[in-house]
Copies of this chain bind each other. A is one copy, B any other.
Amino acid sequence: MSLPRLYDYVASANCYKVRLLLAQLALPYDRVPIDIFDGGTLTDDYARLNPHRSTPVLQLADGRTLIESNAILWYLASGTRFLPDDPFAHAEILRWLIYEQADVMPAIGGLRFRLVTGRFAPDSPEAETRRRNAHEVLALLDDHLASRAFLVGERYSIADIAVFAYSHLAPEAGIDLSDYGHFRAWLERVTEQDDYLDDLEPYPPNASVVAGKSIYG
């Protein structure tokens, strides 16, 4: 019988979050490495798999596919301790999954990517805007976690996995976390979970802008 297949980029935190959950669920899978900076998502085959051309993609043993990292987390976590089965808890977790993609990832992940690959100068106005957004995100998370061990329902869930993926990389975007003690304590609690792993790789050289040329903005 074939295993589920994860189309996956080693340096993407959206992919990393799925690898983390798969490890914590002890689910075997086949990993199909995609190099997004070498055109791996620009082929016709990839467009058939995922018209958004994003990573990750999960292909089930029966051939059906799922896209959007947090939707993949939801599917994999259904019926497990990582996703409580109650409509109110569902809605609370969903709130964080949406906030992660709409706010946390663009502010923190987007800033880190553009700084470390030479797309933004650290003192550019664009970097300054994202840095301000990143501090807003961190202040909000810190407030929320001041009275809670985890984001939802006092237990580790896919809400924590999703938000952790990019937010724990804030220092690599030059963000000082010293004002966010509750947030830092939560990062620590996440890394203490059974079967925690961090196999996220740094962006390889081909992700960087060389002499102003890149296939990505």
Contacts and interface: CB of A to CB of B under 8 A. Distances in A.
Interface in A45-66: 51-52, 64, 66
Interface in A66-104: 66-68, 70-72, 74-75, 78-79, 87-88, 90-92, 94-95, 97-99, 101-102
B68 A95 contact: yes
Copies in the complex: 2
B98 A98 contact: yes
A68 to B, nearest CB: 4
Contacts of A90: 74-75, 78
A68 B72 CA distance: 20
Contact of A66 (B66, B70, B91, B102): B91
Interface of A: 51-52, 64, 66-68, 70-72, 74-75, 78-79, 87-88, 90-92, 94-95, 97-99, 101-102, 106, 140, 143-144
